[in-house]
Amino acid sequence: MIFLDQLARELVLDKHPTRVVCLVPSITELLYDMGLDEEVVGITKFCIHPDSWYRSKVRVGGTKQVDYELIKRLAPDLIIGNKEENTKEMIEVLSESTPVYVSDIHDLDSAIEMITSLGVVLNKKQKSEYIVAEIKRAFDQLKEMDIESRSVKYYIWKEPDMLAGKGTFIDDMLRHCGWINATDKERYPIDDQEIEPDLVLLSSEPYPFSEKHINEFRMKYPNAKIKIVDGEMFSWYGSHLLKSPQYFKELISEISQ
């Protein structure tokens, strides 16, 4: 069997995988929701959902550094990675001995494509199609909201202050909320613009912004609305997307008050 990953790399498999190592937290949660408890044998230390897997599955390292020998001992017949979250060197080393499916997610459409594709690769086509249908239904309901367009800065890091810029999955989630990204820079730029947006969102991850940071940003942006937001809802692109639209609805309603 020959499959293509999201970088159009060919994966040659003798059969559907039965021993999987996942190096992407968002996709680990997806594999759980697809019913792959027996097949998944290794995850990262950042794969915190579901908690039962986090406590019971073998952790092979992080998303940027892994224990290659441990992965070898797990004898996977498929490794799942991501272009942005994992390093190119890591993918190249792992690919020397094991097929590696590399995802490349930058918007809702590419997330849906990944879920559908992995459903075929992992022989969970029916389950993946159900998840995709539910995600689409939830986002269609979000479109029905009467949303006031707002310019927004979405902060992911502090010192230096870094934003989610254009071309990121977070940027696409902001668009689905009806908001306009206030930065015109790509990827994750340092914020060097003095433009005051209508809305400032401080993400709970990867930097753990909390209520104590609101006053700092209020000094900088006295006229903007400032909110701490659940970063997983904006950046996790697997089955977590089943939850995101409802969270966005509640957030939009709260901000509109």
Q: Provide the residue count of the chain.
A: 257
The pLDDT tens digits for 200-251 are 999 999 999 998 999 999 999 999 999 999 999 999 999 999 999 999 999 9
The answer as to whether 193 is a domain residue is: yes
Question: What is the pLDDT averaged over residues 28-34?
Answer: 98
Domain stops at, among 117, 139, 161: 139
Q: What is the pLDDT of residue 148?
A: 81
Q: What is the pLDDT of residue 179?
A: 95
Shared-domain flag, residues 157 and 228: yes
- As for how many domains the chain has, the answer is 2
Shared-domain flag, residues 17 and 109: yes
Shared-domain flag, residues 124 and 214: no
Query: Is residue 257's pLDDT more than 80?
Result: no
Query: Is residue 70's pLDDT more than 90?
Result: yes
Q: What is the pLDDT of residue 15?
A: 94
- pLDDT bin (cut points 50, 70, 90) of residue 146 is confident
Average pLDDT of the residues of the chain: 95
The pLDDT tens digits for 184-213 are 999 999 998 788 999 999 999 999 999 899
Q: What is the pLDDT of residue 147?
A: 79
Shared-domain flag, residues 27 and 92: yes
Strands 40-43, 225-229: pairing is unpaired
Query: Which CATH number belongs to the domain containing residue 172 in this structure?
Result: 3.40.50.1980
The pLDDT tens digits for 48-65 are 999 999 999 999 999 999
Query: Is residue 180's pLDDT more than 90?
Result: yes
The answer as to whether 165 is a domain residue is: yes
- pLDDT bin (cut points 50, 70, 90) of residue 141 is very high
As a whole-number percent, the residues of the chain with pLDDT over 70 amount to 100
Which is more confident, 172 or 147?
172
- Structural domain of 90: 2-139
Shared-domain flag, residues 12 and 135: yes
Which is more confident, 211 or 147?
211
The answer as to whether 146 is a domain residue is: no
